[in-house]
Structure 1
Amino acid sequence: MDFLDEVVITVRSGDGGGGCVSFRREKYIPKGGPDGGDGGDGGDVILSADKTCHSLSDYRSRRSFKAGSGSPGGGNQCTGRNGEDLILPVPLGTIVENAVTGDFIVDLVRAGERYLLLPGGQGGKGNRHFATATNRTPRMAQPGIPGVELKIRLSLKLLAHIGLVGLPNAGKSTLLASLTMARPKIGDYPFTTLIPNLGVLDLDDDHSVTLADVPGLIEGASEGRGLGLRFLKHIERTGVLFHLLDAAGRTAEGVLEDYRRIRNELEAYSPALAEKPQVVLLNKLDLLDDGNGKVARIGRALEEEGVPWIGLSALKGQGIQDLKRLILVNWDVWGLECLDSREADPSCTNPEVDG
């Protein structure tokens, strides 16, 4: 399994290089003054929000990182080379916390955003800085300032416009594959989806949305049963939730019961999550012989609860165009800004760095 959404790593900024003790010695200047150069600064630790990353799996096997140290100063006022910065790419939506204290540090949500986590140690001054009228040959220089070490927790909450929720085997992965270029694992058995999947749906030349498919919820998911508690966080940032319900495999009353079970789990996990705009997608209509008006009965019951709905077949593509039109019509209502437009100033931000 390649997906990883939480990890604890240790990072350390680079040490500053030491200043140099040196004196100018040339053919006609046998007793020149001090000319020791300064040490180079240690490298910074920088977090970079990279929209090409979709998981923290790069940190699965390695948990300790250190920036480069500054080089010592040299004679003839030569300054040591600065240490190389350590730039750690993380997916958009990564929350960074102090793993020891639990204190929040930063939430990286904009593509290209950089955050200066730890500054490198400053290089020490060479002996030329310590010459005075009474001590013209100082034999001292400053050592470099050591870097700072910090243990941090990286937690990923996916950024997506739309979250797909439903019971196991409702057809969420099939719908994601039908709408987007995503290719999640699909099978006719519960818990096919074991990790969140993302896909991008192009609606027209100016509008595209990202969809997140999370593993199927079961009763008690909000309390940690099944995979629900681990992955419910990945739909907290979405603008709207699509409930995918199996209209063919259940009675009308059973389908409504499934919807209410999902609603209850969302509300138990986070009342704010349950208050998001929601749409019910009655799936698998291709398997349904609806001579008794089952879909219409379900639809009327949902409308009485104030929930919009659409009937479709993710497998056959039935109703997909209606779904796209629904998203476009509600674009502003649901606040579906283009995630790709959320570009950040690439310069580092962090006015106060506290190691």
Structure 2
Amino acid sequence: MFVDNVDIFIASGKGGAGAVSFRREKFVLNGGPDGGDGGDGGDVYFEIDKNADTLSRFRGTKHYKAKNGQPGGGKNYSGKRGEDIIIKIPPGTQIFDFNTNELLYDFTTQVSRTKVLSGGKGGLGNARFKNSINQRPTYAQSGLIGEECHIRLELKLIADVGLVGFPNVGKSTLVSVISNAKPQIADYEFTTLVPNLGVVEPDGMNSFVMADIPGIIDGASEGKGLGIEFLRHIERTKLLVFLIDISNYRAPFVQYQKLKLELKKFSKELYNKPFGIAISKMDTLESCSEVLNDFYISLGVKICEDRIFGLDEKWDYAIYKDFFGKENKQNLSNPLFVIPISSSSHINTDALGFVLLKSLEILYGHKK
């Protein structure tokens, strides 16, 4: 089960109490206080588990507590320190204060293991309080209580490229064709119920991670459908690809406008990300040129004359050669490219991978 949002209670251990004890040994004339210190309480750590991609392990358990420190003993024996608790989480997890919604930790930037709560300090035994005035102290410190917190864990998958589109436009098919991912594919809407990640290696040396999320529908920003629930998973992507279905009953430009509107309502940061457009299912229509040209005119882009990136010559395409040739990072409010593709026929899918890799290199110096 894919779970990306849970709340749990965490607590560090209480410090052990110091001991009140006096030395009592046969044939020893000078006794005295010998109460040992209590042990410190255990700490709470969060650690990245690179083999995990969901928060489902937290659904059965809500409370996580480190062990308490043990009390001190006679003969200056110190109590044992409480055992730490290490909570493993997938990469990309954020930790929020449940009550204030304040972001406490973000495990895209944190080190692999991070201490989030410190255990209570153990109390001092009565041996610590002996001095020239008080030779027989009859008191010791109790251990300090640990820290506790109610937190919310939110998982945001880490990907370089995020696919955005309406249901059943071919997102899962595209991911399965150009990456190593094997998402569920069927000819009905909302086949994808959870996000999917795939690693794309266009040139066999460099790679990037592509994320496919459930389709977005009209009113998604108001809570309709599944897509809005998973939009957080593409908030961290560096580049978006709008997948437009040319065979859809909506005109391509209408699809594009509606998707941009839903993103804008959800997050301005997501809305302002660099993006490109892939027009899918080009093999489903006998004549696409007129529809394609109308879309280019509506976008205000020009058809390219030179073939680059190994693009198939079956359909005209639009790509900003100034952006790719001169490495110009300006005017990213327009699509970086508009490429017609057919995932089922594998037309322009390899070229799309190369264009995406080149875009990431220019924008972010991406090399993996």
TM-score interval (norm. to shorter): 0.7 to 0.9
Partner of 2:268: 271
Q: CA 1:304 to 1:291, structure 2 compared with 1: closer, same or farther past 3 Å?
A: closer
C-alpha separation in 1, matches of 2:366 and 2:26: 71
Asked if the contact 1:169–1:191 (Cα under 8 Å) also holds between the matched residues in 2, the reply is yes
Displacement of 1:64: 0.8
C-alpha separation in 2, matches of 1:325 and 1:206: 12
Displacement of 1:132: 1.7
Partner of 1:24: 23
Query: Once structures 1 and 2 are overlaid, which stretch shifts more, 116-125 or 322-331?
Result: 322-331
Asked if the contact 1:50–1:90 (Cα under 8 Å) also holds between the matched residues in 2, the reply is yes
C-alpha separation in 2, matches of 1:267 and 1:60: 32
C-alpha separation in 2, matches of 1:183 and 1:79: 56
Q: What's the TM-score once normalised by structure 2's chain length?
A: 0.84
Query: Once structures 1 and 2 are overlaid, which stretch shifts more, 99-108 or 286-295?
Result: 286-295
Q: CA 1:287 to 1:122, structure 2 compared with 1: closer, same or farther past 3 Å?
A: same
Alignment of 1:7-46 (within 5 A): 7-29=6-28, 31-46=30-45
Partner of 1:71: 70
Q: What's the CA shift string for 1:10-67, capped at 9, x where partnerless?
A: 1110111111222233343254222221111111112223333222111111111101
Query: Once structures 1 and 2 are overlaid, which stretch shifts more, 305-314 or 209-218?
Result: 305-314
Asked if the contact 2:37–2:72 (Cα under 8 Å) also holds between the matched residues in 1, the reply is yes
Alignment of 1:1-355 (within 5 A): 2-29=1-28, 31-110=30-109, 112-204=111-203, 206-250=205-249, 254-290=251-287, 293-304=290-301, 306-307=334-335, 308-335=337-364, 337=366
C-alpha separation in 1, matches of 2:365 and 2:201: 13
Displacement of 1:212: 1.3
C-alpha separation in 1, matches of 2:86 and 2:281: 47
Asked if the contact 1:17–1:143 (Cα under 8 Å) also holds between the matched residues in 2, the reply is yes
Partner of 2:322: none
Q: CA 1:333 to 1:223, structure 2 compared with 1: closer, same or farther past 3 Å?
A: farther
Displacement of 1:242: 0.7
Letter in 2 for 1:218: I
Q: CA 1:182 to 1:143, structure 2 compared with 1: closer, same or farther past 3 Å?
A: same
Q: CA 1:135 to 1:205, structure 2 compared with 1: closer, same or farther past 3 Å?
A: farther
Structure with the bigger RCO (C-alpha within 8 Å, sep 6+) is 1
* Contiguous gaps of at least 5 residues in structure 1: 341-355
C-alpha separation in 2, matches of 1:312 and 1:214: 19
Asked if the contact 2:10–2:149 (Cα under 8 Å) also holds between the matched residues in 1, the reply is yes
Q: What's the CA shift string for 1:60-107, capped at 9, x where partnerless?
A: 111111011111112222222111111222222222221123333122
Letter in 1 for 2:265: A
Letter in 2 for 1:286: D
Asked if the contact 1:302–1:309 (Cα under 8 Å) also holds between the matched residues in 2, the reply is no
C-alpha separation in 2, matches of 1:304 and 1:53: 42
Displacement of 1:226: 1.1
Q: CA 1:255 to 1:144, structure 2 compared with 1: closer, same or farther past 3 Å?
A: same
Q: What's the CA shift string for 1:305-352, capped at 9, x where partnerless?
A: 9431112222332212101210232223332646x8xxxxxxxxxxxx
Q: CA 1:109 to 1:82, structure 2 compared with 1: closer, same or farther past 3 Å?
A: same
Query: Once structures 1 and 2 are overlaid, which stretch shifts more, 29-38 or 278-287?
Result: 29-38
Structure 2 SS opposite 1:55: coil
* Contiguous gaps of at least 5 residues in structure 2: 303-333
C-alpha separation in 2, matches of 1:298 and 1:17: 72
Structure 1 SS opposite 2:352: helix
Structure 1 SS opposite 2:105: strand
Asked if the contact 2:281–2:342 (Cα under 8 Å) also holds between the matched residues in 1, the reply is yes
Structure 1 SS opposite 2:259: helix
Q: What's the CA shift string for 1:149-191, capped at 9, x where partnerless?
A: 1101112222211111100001111111222222222111011
Letter in 2 for 1:268: K
Structure 2 SS opposite 1:279: strand
Q: CA 1:19 to 1:292, structure 2 compared with 1: closer, same or farther past 3 Å?
A: closer
Asked if the contact 2:161–2:241 (Cα under 8 Å) also holds between the matched residues in 1, the reply is yes
Asked if the contact 1:191–1:215 (Cα under 8 Å) also holds between the matched residues in 2, the reply is yes
Q: CA 1:139 to 1:123, structure 2 compared with 1: closer, same or farther past 3 Å?
A: same
Partner of 2:323: none
Structure 1 SS opposite 2:72: coil
Displacement of 1:232: 1.6
Structure 1 SS opposite 2:132: coil
C-alpha separation in 2, matches of 1:267 and 1:63: 35
Alpha carbon RMSD of aligned pairs, Å? 2.2
Asked if the contact 1:70–1:123 (Cα under 8 Å) also holds between the matched residues in 2, the reply is yes
Asked if the contact 1:285–1:312 (Cα under 8 Å) also holds between the matched residues in 2, the reply is yes
